[in-house]
Amino acid sequence: CSLQSECKVPFIHVGNQVVSELGPIIQFTKAKGHSLSDVLDDVQRAEMKAYMELMNNMLLTAELYIQWCDETTAAEITRPRYSSPYPWPLKHILAYQKQWEVRRKMSAVGWAEKTLEQVYEDVAQCCQALSQRLGTQMYFFNRQPTELDALVFGHLFTILTTQLTSNELSDKVKTYSNLLTFVHRIEQTYFEDQGGGLSS
Amino acid sequence: MGTVHARSLDPLPMQGPDLGVHADDVEVIDVEPETKQEVLENKDVVVQRVHIDGLGRTKEDLLGYEIADVFTAKNLIDVMKKSHDAREKLLHLGIFRKVEVVIDTSEGEDALPNGLDVTFEVTELRRLTGSYNTMVGNNEGSMVLGLKLPNILGRAEKLTFQFSYGTKETSYGLSFFKPKPGHFDRNVSVNLYKVTGQFPWSSLRETDRGISTEFNFPIWKTNHTLKWEGVWRELGCLARTASFAVREESGHSLKSSLSHAMVIDTRNSAILPKKGILLKINQELAGYTGGDVSFLKEDFEIQLNRRLFWDSVLSASLWGGMLLPIGDKPTCIADRFYLGGPTSVRGFSMYSIGPQSEGDYLGGEAFWASGAHLYTPLPFRPGRGGFGDLFRMHFFLNAGNLCRLDYGEGPRSHLQKLAECIRWSYGAGIVLRLGNIARLELNYCVPMGVQSGDRICDGVQFGAGIRFL
Amino acid sequence: MAAPLELFCWKGGWGLPSVNTECLTVLAYAKFAGAPLKVHKIANPWRSPTGSLPALKTPEEGSLSQPSKIIIQLKKQKYNADYDLSAKEGADALAFISLLEEKLLPALIYTLWVDPKNYVDVTRRWHGENIPFPLNFFLPGRMQSRQLDRLRLVRGDSRLEPGDETEKELYRDALECMDLLSQRLASHKFFFGDSPSSLDAHVFGHLAPLLKMKLPNAKLQQHLKSMDNLSNFCSNILTLYFPSEGEDTPGRKFSSQPESSDFDNEPHKRRNQVLSVLVALGAMLSYALLTGILSIQHVRPQGALDSSERHGVGAHEEEDDD
């Protein structure tokens, strides 16, 4: 994160250009002639974009909430992990600064008064929507993976493999069997040589 | 009964017993002035008592050291001279607004016939003084509020607070200063600050929040400063177009460093000296006291001044420095040296010499720079003895070089690196002295030794500076 | 029947039932679901039970102020506009609402509150004229700085400044979002089937202000007007569900529930009375002071910061050792 003035990861560095975050990276690769969503029709593309924003709007915010606004998780996992590259006493200052910032963001998007249970409910609602949309298909749209599949895989895989203070978040995801098989399939098809992961 | 009221002793009579009492600035109030004066001048006197009137919160033991010398005076001229020195010392403490000296013959039972009483009538500074300033810089305005609490604990301690609220950044500083009683030059100060700087030549923005402790003490003719500083630095890019090399440097770091500085300064003036030398040696060791930045930094500054014919002055100066990273982390962009600008190597743009990436200057780990100046009065000397003395013409020759040390070669190759591709320039211009703290220069520069990547300023260059080559 | 639910929201203008996106969304949803609400259209957020608008006052669960919570509450009361949606359609609705909030809302905030010309000519003017005195002097400014703060937090860029760069980014997202919505809607009347759902309420809430307000800087507006299906969608909902909002009747306040209009006006009257009494009192007092009938003596405590005597405004002081 220290690499970036805007503090956004991931990023790609091409020549003297820096492109960060998924959206701009997709646009950038599209401009270079690589796109996964070319096969979709207009309505499908609209739906794909909408579902991607669903991920950003609900799942990402929920992840942030659980990481920073649930005090147990923040104290045991998030703050130590966030502050590990910095020396004492800077690590504490920066971790609390970040936490304060996230809380401000939560109140800006109206999540400040939510309880942890309500956030888990939101996650469940989001997973429910994804599960409904996926149904029994191999990928979200037809038989070919799109940007949405990449985004969903990224979030769900992280949720399933990251150890938090409670398993409630991953349990919420695990109740949707088609999402689980979806994550397994992508892992096996595209990342199988890297070991570790869910199968262990 | 004779009363000698010395209101102001400036200028002090240098020598000659009769000058002293008859000087304009000494009032004589006496019934029979002639005879009494004779008596006092010729006789040895004894200072029996020294009073200090007007003390409020100041502790007397502090002043004992400053006025002790007065007791050693043996004759009237001596008494006046020593009293004057004591007065200067008292004013130097920075706790009095006004100090007046009254010398009188002793009275009372134990009064000796040749006994004198010296009374210092002082007016203390207010407990709280404030100041308000506005500053306008390039593209930025700011308001500076200052609060000062002089003599806060009664022994010349000082607490100052400065707050600057700008259109872009806010900064503040809080500092506590305490001198050793009797040795004003030996002092301790503790500072707490937040400073934000923008460095467009590197596309860099730096926010420092820090605390520092400093000991100052003189040894023989040198002044020393020992300092510990802990600072949290936040580096960021000024613009989206910042190069990747600068982006890589951005983020948070914590520097904790011990530093030592030694200064010998025999110059008659800091800004437009006519004679004397300046030697400054600085060393900073970061990393052993904590933080995640480790390096050893050494740098020095020498300046020699010599008066020539027709009121002109020849001045030569040399700077040099080296920054050695400790451990395997490379040095940080904020610690490196920069060169170039209207008061360093003239003819080059501000800090625009040496390694760069996409137009952002990254600084160097070793550098040297030198300058030779011939200062002359303005032609035909307009405003001589007054306004005109603030100005000087100068002809200069500057040279310098700056390089990185991470080429993986030995010290010899580094020296070679510094010796080749030297940047140099010459020119002439006008210097204006601003008080005794800064100077303005308007120069016509001809940069000569230029390497690709340097940003030059060919022709007229204007600049202001506190430190100059 | 239990006490009716009361909804507080910003009053209307430009032929809209409310000028605020969130209020519009809630109003539209309530209409779609057929919820019998008692609607108070006000122009003073301080009169809302939660201090912000919209707000739903329920007898059981107190007051709610977020549109999503209000809609959930209405659903709990069996006023569910999404009843006919299949599970997959429900998922799609959720996704598109997210799309609106992530892509269109920031641009909407920017164009109404941050774009200087729009803000001064339209947003501040409307709020300044409609918010009661003396709140109208500082509330618009405070609302603006909150919206800018919100934009910064949502975009995750604390140094975000109004300017071409930001505008370009936000508008690019927003235009793309409108395109996507237009593609999804195609030639249908509503997004799902023949009856409107919560998604329709949200889309209406976000797009109707853009369509109806007369903004000097109208890039988003032009783009929206060029898409016939979306603009028809909005005007359809307006004519079908808010027929009383005549085209140019900004002076008269119509509310969806006629019986609430009386209630609506009365507090204004009371407030005006209180205000006029206050103004009169103030004038009398100042007259008394000016003519010397009354005088106030200011006693300063001894030993106060005596520096204030010498350091007036702009005085630069240095210790003068003489």
| Domain B3-124 in CATH 3.10.20.310 | yes
pLDDT of residue A11: 67
Mean pLDDT value across residues C213-226: 88
Q: Which residues pair with B277 in a beta bridge?
A: B304
And the tokens for A111? 């999540």
Domains, chain A: 1-35 (no CATH), 40-199 (1.20.1050.10)
C-alpha B373/C-alpha B371 separation (Å) is: 7
Q: Which of A102, A101, A23, A7 is nearest to A55 (CA)?
A: A23
Statement: residue B154 has pLDDT above 70: yes
Range of lowest pLDDT (A21-35, B110-124, C63-77): A21-35
C307/B129 touch (CB, cutoff 8 Å), yes or no: yes
B249, closest residue in chain A (CA to CA): A3
Helix (H) or strand (E) holding C62: strand C62-64
Q: Which residues pair with B5 in a beta bridge?
A: B27, B102
pTM to 2 decimal places: 0.73
Are B340 and B349 within 8 A, CB to CB? Answer: yes
According to DSSP, the β-strands at B423-434 and B391-403 are antiparallel
What is the residue-averaged pLDDT of chain C?
A: 79
Report the residue from A3, A88, A89 with minimal CB separation from B248. Answer: A3
Mean pLDDT value across residues C267-271: 65
The CATH number of whichever domain residue C181 belongs to comes to 1.20.1050
If 0-12 CB within 10 Å is exposed, 13-18 middle and 19+ buried, where does residue B125 land? buried
Q: Which amino acid is at C140?
A: P
Interface mutation target, options A9, A27, A54, chain C, most CBs of C under 10 Å = A54
Q: Which of B75, B101, B70, B71 is nearest to B16 (CA)?
A: B75
Hey, is B398 helix, strand or coil?
strand
C-alpha B16/C-alpha B396 separation (Å) is: 46
And the tokens for B195? 């400073």
Q: Does residue C314 sit within a domain? A: no
Judged by a CB distance cut-off of 8 A, whether residue B57 touches chain C is: no
How far does A140 lie from chain B, in Å, by closest CA? Answer: 36
Q: Which residues pair with B150 in a beta bridge?
A: B158
Q: Does residue C249 sit within a domain? A: no
B252/A88 touch (CB, cutoff 8 Å), yes or no: no
pLDDT of residue B15: 37
The radius of gyration computed from the CA coordinates of chain C, to the nearest angstrom, equals 25
Q: Does residue C258 sit within a domain? A: no
Report the residue from B91, B96, B130 with minimal CB separation from C317. Answer: B130
pLDDT of residue B41: 58
Query: How far is CA B359 from each of CA A46, B201, B393, rounded to the nearest angstrom?
Result: 42, 8, 34
pLDDT of residue C300: 46
Q: Does residue C164 sit within a domain? A: yes
Chains touching B (at least 3 CB pairs under 8 A) are: A, C
Half-sphere exposure of A125 (CA within 13 A, CB side): 17
Share of chain B above pLDDT 70, in %: 89
If 0-12 CB within 10 Å is exposed, 13-18 middle and 19+ buried, where does residue A129 land? buried
pLDDT confidence tier of residue C263, bands split at 50, 70 and 90? very low
* pLDDT tens profile C290-313: 766 655 555 444 433 343 333 333
A90/B232 touch (CB, cutoff 8 Å), yes or no: yes
**A81 vs B22, more confident:** A81
Chains touching A (at least 3 CB pairs under 8 A) are: B, C
Are B469 and B319 within 8 A, CB to CB? Answer: yes
> How many B×C Cβ pairs under 8 Å?
33
Looking at the 3D structure of chain C, how many domains does it have?
A: 1
pLDDT confidence tier of residue B6, bands split at 50, 70 and 90? very low
Statement: residue C203 has pLDDT above 90: yes
Residues of A in contact with B292 (CB under 8 A): 86-87, 90
Please say whether the dihedral angle defined by the alpha carbons of residues C191, C193, C197 and C201, taken in this order, is positive or negative: positive
Structural domain containing residue C138: 6-242
Q: Which residues of chain A have pLDDT under 50?
A: 1-7, 199-200
Q: Does residue C306 sit within a domain? A: no
Contacts 24+ apart (CB under 8 A), A137-144: A138/A185, A139/A182, A140/A48, A140/A51, A141/A40, A141/A44, A141/A47, A141/A48, A142/A39, A142/A40, A144/A36, A144/A39
Q: What ipTM goes with this model?
A: 0.84
| Domain B182-465 in CATH 3.90.550.10 | no
Helices (H), chain C: 21-33, 67-76, 87-99, 105-109, 116-118, 124-130, 139-155, 164-185, 198-212, 219-226, 228-241, 260-291, 307-310
Are C32 and C26 within 8 A, CB to CB? Answer: no
Residues of A in contact with B237 (CB under 8 A): 5
C-alpha B265/C-alpha A14 separation (Å) is: 53
Half-sphere exposure of B303 (CA within 13 A, CB side): 25
* pLDDT tens profile B261-296: 999 999 988 888 889 999 999 999 998 888 889 999
Are C41 and C10 within 8 A, CB to CB? Answer: yes
Q: Which of B456, B185, B362, A108 is nearest to C155 (CA)?
A: A108
C-alpha B430/C-alpha B396 separation (Å) is: 11
Q: Which of A61, A53, A56 is nearest to A102 (CA)?
A: A61
Share of chain A above pLDDT 90, in %: 15
Residues of C in contact with B240 (CB under 8 A): 165
**Domain residue limits, chain B:** 3-124, 182-465
* pLDDT tens profile B376-405: 988 887 777 777 788 889 999 999 998 888
Q: Which amino acid is at C277?
A: V
Are B355 and B336 within 8 A, CB to CB? Answer: no
Residues of A in contact with C179 (CB under 8 A): 46
pLDDT of residue C81: 84
